[in-house]
Chains A and B, each alone.
Chain A
Amino acid sequence: MIQTLGISGLRLTRGERTLFRDLTLVIEAGEVLALTGANGSGKTSLLRAISGFLTPAAGDIVFHDADANVIDPGLARSHQLHHLGHLDALKGARTAREELMFQSDWLGHSGLDSASGITEAIETLGLKPLLDLEVRKLSAGQRRRLAMARLIGAPRALWLLDEPLSPLDSRWREAVGAIMQAHLASGGLIIAAVHDPLPIPTRSLDLGLVG
């Protein structure tokens, strides 16, 4: 399980443009980092680089486990991190239940029984009345809650969240804050790109100041 995420001397570019250079930071288990910065400052790109979708122009992104051994990035990506982008990865024509089961089963494939995690996700995120509806009939906030269910349904240590709260109302923002706190308490790590502050105490990093 990921214990530490270390980023050193990271430079990210999109096309000709350098988003930021010489980004160095360490995040330990139990910590949450809020990424802020203007539009286009590289919040989403940093999350995608950590997930392995973008190749850095320079620098390293290294995952360590509790014994300080390096975790292979491919293994981290396939089994130990959640990437929740600003798209929900939900199919409109399928029911909420089908999508929830697929996402949790697909990501939670580590031999453990996912049924209890899925039940917990349904209760925590209030999804029960939505389960038999087609995804296209859900509101933006409901879709986001459904997408977040995989965080609980398929336990993984590192959560990379891109604007997780934006479509949610104040009640669910509080609830997601509580979910994040529970994840941190169990030794998880969270990096979230945000415009509004998260409802929990965070370290924050303004990417606009790094570049």
Chain B
Amino acid sequence: MKAVHILFRRELALAWGGGGGPLLACGFFACLTAILPLAAGGDPAVLKPVASGVAWLALALASLLSLERLFERDLEDGALDLLATGPLPLEAVFVVKAMSQWLATGLPLALTAPVAALALGQPVALLPLTTAGALIGGLGFAFTGALGAALALGAKRGGLLIAVVVLPLFIPPVVFGSGALDRAAASLDPLPALALLGAYVLFACAIAPIAGAAAIRNAQG
């Protein structure tokens, strides 16, 4: 457990410091949601039906931003070898990195999401659900995103490759997350959609570390 703590502190410090990762993601997210009314017109009748969908789309895109440096920098400066000779198996290293990605990017985004959704005309009553959905979905984004980052290790223009690999994996959480909001907006029970979202995230959390660790070993060989 001590090793987890040591690595976690380092990963959080790296994610928060140097380049302002979380602020950047939140700023990007805010920009995306601000562009929609400018592009589609400010009519609430137009914006309101798509508010939750757009908020989730922006969330998915903003989650991509800091993925490139999650493993690539450690590969470039040799720190990935250091991590691989430490007391934790690579699968655990992957989990710690994905969790710190969630805390450093997913959490700030989940706090920004209700503000953005409100600006797009979402009813106030849906705000707690928006935050909860973004928190759960963000965990899925972090794990599938980290998997994409591990798969793209060593590739040139890895950032773009990560986006292409990862965005299809982001579709289910976007569908279930915005579905939960749509159901709540139509006064239906959002729980089935949230349950599906949770199931997908659990699946990602279980599979991604194994696949990601294999991808890292491959990149180190």
Contacts and interface: CB of A to CB of B under 8 A. Distances in A.
Interface string B54-97: 00000000000000000001001111011111111100000000
Interface string B6-28: 11011001100110000000000
A87 B82 CA distance: 10
A139 interface: no
A51 B18 CA distance: 31
A51 B81 contact: yes
Among B2, B6, B10, B82, the one with the most A-chain Cβ atoms within 10 Å of its Cβ is B82
Nearest to B75: A87
Interface residues of B, number: 27
Nearest to B2: A109
Given A54-B221, A88-B77, A91-B79, A107 B13 contact: no
Interface in A101-140: 102-103, 105-107, 109-110
A123 B83 CA distance: 25
A78 interface: yes
Contact of A89 (B3, B81, B217): B81
A23 interface: no
Contact of B13 (A77, A82, A89, A94): A94
A109 B6 contact: yes
Instruction: Give the interface centre of A82, A98, A103, A109 by most chain B CB atoms within 10 Å.
Output: A109
Given A53-B220, A105-B6, A109-B2, A89 B14 contact: no
A83 interface: yes
Interface of A: 48, 51, 53-55, 74, 77-79, 81-83, 85-94, 98, 102-103, 105-107, 109-110
11 contacts: A51-B81, A78-B85, A82-B85, A87-B81, A88-B77, A90-B77, A102-B9, A102-B10, A106-B3, A106-B83, A109-B6
